Amino acid sequence: MLSKLHQKVSTYSLGEGKKISLILWELLNSDLVIMDEVTNGLDHNTLKELKNSLIKAKKDSIIILTGHELLFYEEIIDELYILKDGKLFEEFDWKEERLEKTYEKYF
């Protein structure tokens, strides 16, 4: 990793750049976090670490996530909102239906 110190972040792979963003997120310890497609480019071990970090962080922060990796999000979300055609829907039955069926219902 020492060889990366003198490279611009723009030359990093998607996963490497994502890991840097996640490290910054943890260091900043913000009360409000918004992340889009947070799982893209991450390997299995990093996804496990991220999930654990998000579960811990949601106790003290508001975290808004978007993405399509439904199984990843299903284990960590507390409330589900769906944005479709410029309208925001709060979905209450997603835990019973699971995220995949809820997604299919709207899309």
Give the Cα separation of 93 and 100 in Å (integer). 12
Parallel/antiparallel/unpaired status of strands 87-91 and 62-66: unpaired
Indicate the pTM of the whole model.
0.80
Q: Express each pLDDT in 61-97 by its tens digit.
A: 999 999 888 899 998 999 999 989 999 999 988 888 8
Domains with residue ranges and CATH for the chain? 2-76 (3.40.50.300)
Give the Cα separation of 40 and 17 in Å (integer). 11
Give the Cα separation of 105 and 85 in Å (integer). 14
Report the pLDDT averaged over residues 9-17. Answer: 86
Give the Cα separation of 70 and 98 in Å (integer). 9
